[in-house]
Amino acid sequence: METPPPIPGELWPENRNINKSEIHSKAMASFICGLAGLLITPLAFAAVVLGHIAKSDLRQDESLRGKNYAIAGLVFGYLVTGVVAACFISMPVMYFWPQKNKASKELTDSLSFLAVDSGINEDITAIIFNGETFIAALRYGRLMTSENGTEWRVNEREIGYGVDALVHGDGKTIAVSGNSLFIYDGSLHWNEMDAKLPETIADLIWTGKAFVGAVDKGMLVSRDGLEWDKRLIPGIDGVPSVSGDESMITAEYYGVLKVKYTGGKWETIENGYHELATVWKGEIWAARFSETSLYTYRDSKWVHVLSPPVGGMFSFASTEKLTVTDSYLLAFGDHFSWSLDGRNWGSFELPYEYDSSFMRGMTYGNGRFILAGDDGMLYIGANVDNISTLQDEINHLSLRQKKSD
């Protein structure tokens, strides 16, 4: 008679409590949270925590199963966590590093211009933005102001026989007529200052530290607009074009370009690339009439910055003025062009009747570019997202002008 097989639990009592189908609940939870974490990010963090707990339990109790589930949960959890961490780390770099190029590209693609009749049948000779208000000088000595560039108010009082220069600096907006200085009081009034210029100036700029006016063989300098000193510039035999900021001042006269860095002496810069020289963001920038090129002066030499393709959006050969605002490098001739970095440019081709012979000045403020010219005509540029608002303002202005007529 055969003996029945022994009961396993009686021969191997240590196996009596083994359940080979049991999977650790935390391992399974880690796996589920890891999968769900691909869609719901916080669950990925839970998958990492549960996965480590499950692996610890599995090492201590060999009767439990689920090691592969715990590992899979950890893989999914760490994958999502790594992606989230990489996004947070790269966000500052993505925001700050390409910001200027990005802004220039957006402007290039999305800026539109509209013609505006200011309603003043008099040539506009200069225009600036003083941080709050657009201010324009008219040929025969009147000045007008606007908050938006479309609706203008005129100061009927004439300032001398015409405005020679208009500038804002040191919290003051100053107009120059002959040897007289006038300061804007924030309304329509211009009050004559006690100070008198020792010489008539051809241009006036604010460098960030001082007012600088161009005069014969040199410049007039004032820190407050009240007391002026004349400083001769060696090698300049006439009235130069001046430009500058807090780091330097440049003076250009018939092929001679001089630069004076803060605390230094006047130096002569090599001739050849400076028909249109200006100081912007601590560097000298210049265009050549003979080339479609832009140069900047760095480390005592001219560096080629930009050469647009033939038929491209910008031609420096047709440019007659290169100037700056706080943010933009501006150029205009047959085209009006703008840049935030000197490399990426947007451009607007002026209609033939409004070319560089018509335009007298340009500025930027309140998110708008303004080009001013003869007979009170203006061109205003705005982002396409705001162009409808600008068009509504122009239509409203035209309607009001028709009613007044």
Task: For residues 210-225, give the mean pLDDT.
Answer: 92
Mean pLDDT (the chain, rounded): 76
User: What domains lie within the chain, and their CATH numbers?
Assistant: 8-96 (no CATH), 103-404 (2.130.10.10)
| Most confident stretch, 137-151, 230-244, 325-339, 389-403 | 230-244
Residue where the block lists tokens 């490098």: 329
Q: What does the pLDDT look like over 369-401, one tens digit per residue?
A: 888 878 888 888 776 555 566 666 666 655 655
Among 144-148, 294-298, 386-390, where is mean pLDDT lowest?
386-390
Point out the least confidently predicted range of 85-89, 90-94, 369-373. Answer: 90-94
Residue labelled with tokens 């003083």: 130
Which pLDDT belongs to residue 291?
58
91, 50 in Cβ contact below 8 A? Answer: no
**Which of the listed ranges 112-126, 133-147, 268-282, 296-310 does the model predict with the highest average pLDDT?**
133-147
Q: pLDDT, tens digit, for every residue of 202-212?
A: 888 999 899 99
Q: Is the pLDDT of residue 108 over 90?
A: no
Q: What pLDDT sits at residue 298? A: 83
pLDDT, tens digit (0-9, with 9 covering 90-100), for 320-373: 567 777 788 887 766 677 788 877 777 777 665 555 556 677 888 888 888 887
At 34-76, the pLDDT tens digits run 888 888 888 888 888 888 888 888 788 777 788 888 888 888 8
- In total, the chain counts a number of residues equal to 405
DSSP string over 309-350: PTT-S--GGGEEEEEE-SS-EEEEESEEEEESSSSSEEEEEP
Name the residue among 382, 383, 385 with its Cα closest to residue 371. Answer: 382
Predicted local confidence at residue 229, as pLDDT: 92
The DSSP string of 245-272 is -SSEEEEEETTEEEEEETTS-EEEEPSS
Q: Is the pLDDT of residue 139 over 70?
A: yes
- Comparing 18 with 178, the larger pLDDT belongs to 178
Q: Which pLDDT score is estimated for 354?
A: 55
Q: Kindly calculate the radius of gyration of the chain based on its CA atoms and give it in whole angstroms.
A: 35
pLDDT for res 99:
39
Answer with the residue of higher pLDDT: 134 or 63: 134
Model confidence at 236: pLDDT above 70: yes
More confident residue, 313 or 73: 73
How confident is residue 221, by pLDDT bands cut at 50, 70 and 90?
A: very high
3-state secondary structure of 218: strand
pLDDT at 101: 38
Q: Would you place residue 25 in the very low, low, confident or very high pLDDT band (cuts 50, 70, 90)?
A: confident
Token pair 């500038």 is found at 167
